[in-house]
Amino acid sequence: MSVKPLRRTGILVATVCLVVTVVVSWASWTVNKHSNQRLLSLQMRQVATLIANEVPVVSSMLLDAAHVADATQADPAVFQRFVAPQLASSTSLASVSLWRIDGNQRSLVAKAGVEPLLPSDRSADSFFAKLKPGRQMFITGVLPGSPAHFGYAVRTGGDTSGLVVYAEQRLPPNRHVAVPKNSPFGSLRLAVYLGRNPTGSQLLEATAPVPIPGNTHTEVVPFGDTVLTLVGSSSEPLAGPLSATLPWIVLVVGCVVAVVSGGAIEYVSRRRALAERLARENARLYQEQRTIASTLQHALLPEVPQLDGVQVAARYVPGVAGTDVGGDWYDVIHTEPGRCVLAVGDVSGRGLRAATTMALLRFAIRAYVAQGDNIETVLAKLGGLLQFDTHRQFATVLLGEVDTRTGRITVVSAGHFAPLLITGDRAEFLACRVEPPIGVSPDVRPVPASVTVDGPATLLAFTDGLVERPSELIDRGLERLRAVSLKTGDRPLNDLLDGLTAALIPDGTEDDTVILGLRWAR
């Protein structure tokens, strides 16, 4: 059975579908990832720009305050008046203070806001030591406290003495800031660190727990003598929900298609395998039935006897249409030395019923001939064996009596074709009166017809399969037989019969066909 390879086809189709699905799904996942990454970097750059724009605002406030202090010889009152509105307008600005630097000494001149965290920090000295005069802003780093601060400062004056404006900014509790969901960056998880290393201690603020999860993007913004490092990721697909779910949709749909198409192919394959098996089985049964039919028919037909001076040969060709046995037969009965009776007949219809009637008639003829009846009597007696109204069958029968020594041929016919006689350059159907077929009428009075052959001659008796063709006048078929026989009549008898079969029914015939030939050599 060829089921196994067919199964492989189903699995192959399903596998190919799955591979295509995985590839397409992977491709759409990659595209989605790239667009998300690209959109994230765009958003992060926008955030970085916003923050970078804030830096000059902060530094110019300090510089302005420093200029005011310079211009007023560090008048504390003026300084405090100047920075008060800044403190008032900002929630995160914790303090602004003015310091005088003289060599390694520093002293607080004025202060606004809360107490700065810086002086209590040990790194304060080194921070002040690194301040240089100019527009450069210096950053302290995160100052621990509650809340924590970070400080930034500018210095004026010369290398050894001058003024420092120092501000501290509060960091939000737990460094967490909430961002409204509907803001342009609502979907962004963002953390801002002081310096280049995004470590927890230098975290200024974050919109989500740190470290920021997912695929992150990092931007660096200059901030005074250091930088701000922004780390961000997106909490939702930036390229849109469809783009994000597309790979999954492709995967699921692809898997379903793979399974369904694999299953469908498998189903169709199995149906085909079944159909092919049934067709083979049918063909085998048909052949077997045909073989049975043919075997049965051949079993019912006799071996022809060889007579003194007369050669006998016969052919039976089964019909191509059905698998039934037919009702055609022939017989040659050797009655006494130099005398024989030949019979050719055809029972109407097909199948076992026809074959049975055929056998009945054939053996009845043998019995009547054995009793010594002549052929007219035999034919008349056959009329009593078959009644059309009872059996729904009739039979055409040609009986012939041949005297092999004298060459005399006598024939009687009940509904059957007269035989063809080929002598030298002539081929003629014997002129013979045809009575109604056996079974039609119980009262058969056959009229015998005789001819005597002298020298080489061939007598051909046959059934209708040899000469009948649908939608053709029967005379055309008879004429075709006569013409071919005349042309090939001098061939050896077996060759002649084979040649006639090949020429007259080249593609076989619906009906079965019998040819019986008798040949006088001289």
Partner 1 sequence: MGTVAHRPRAWLEWAETEEGELVVRIGGELDLDSVPGVDPAVDGLIARHNGRHVTVDLGELSFFDSSGVTVLIRIANGSGSMRIRHANPAVRRVIEVLGLASWLGLESD
Contacts with partner 1 by CB under 8 A lie at 346, 348-350, 388-389, 392, 394, 396, 413-415, 417, 433-437, 440-441, 464, 468, 470-475
C-alpha radius of gyration, the chain, whole number: 61
Which run of H or E residues covers position 32?
helix 3-71
Q: Do the Cβ atoms of 247 and 28 come closer than 8 Å?
A: yes
Residue 381 C-beta: closest distance to partner 1, Å: 18
Nearer to partner 1, 415 or 489 (CB): 415
Which neighbouring-strand residues pair with 188?
234
Q: For residues 113 and 131, what is the distance between their CA atoms, to the nearest angstrom?
A: 22
Residue 437 C-beta: closest distance to partner 1, Å: 6
**Pairing between strand 408-414 and 434-435?**
parallel
Nearer to partner 1, 352 or 474 (CB): 474
Residue 434 C-beta: closest distance to partner 1, Å: 3
Nearer to partner 1, 36 or 393 (CB): 393
What is the longest distance spanned by two Cα atoms in the chain?
171
Residue 397 C-beta: closest distance to partner 1, Å: 11
Name the residue with tokens 């959109």.
39
Q: For residues 261 and 16, what is the distance between their CA atoms, to the nearest angstrom?
A: 11
Residue 275 C-beta: closest distance to partner 1, Å: 25
Q: Do the Cβ atoms of 326 and 521 come closer than 8 Å?
A: no
Nearer to partner 1, 304 or 515 (CB): 515
Q: Do the Cβ atoms of 519 and 493 come closer than 8 Å?
A: yes
Which run of H or E residues covers position 401?
strand 395-403
DSSP string, 192-228: EEESSS--GGGEEEESSSSSPPSS-EEEEEEETTEEE
Question: In the numeric block, which tokens belong to residue 163?
Answer: 């003024």
> What angle, 0 to 180 degrees and rounded to 10, lies between the N-to-C axes of helices 241-300 and 352-370?
10
Residue 351 C-beta: closest distance to partner 1, Å: 11
Nearer to partner 1, 189 or 350 (CB): 350
Nearer to partner 1, 110 or 420 (CB): 420
492 prior amide bond cis, ω within 30 = no
Nearer to partner 1, 127 or 417 (CB): 417
Q: 3-state DSSP call for residue 125?
A: helix
Residue 401 C-beta: closest distance to partner 1, Å: 19
Nearer to partner 1, 326 or 489 (CB): 326
Residue 396 C-beta: closest distance to partner 1, Å: 7
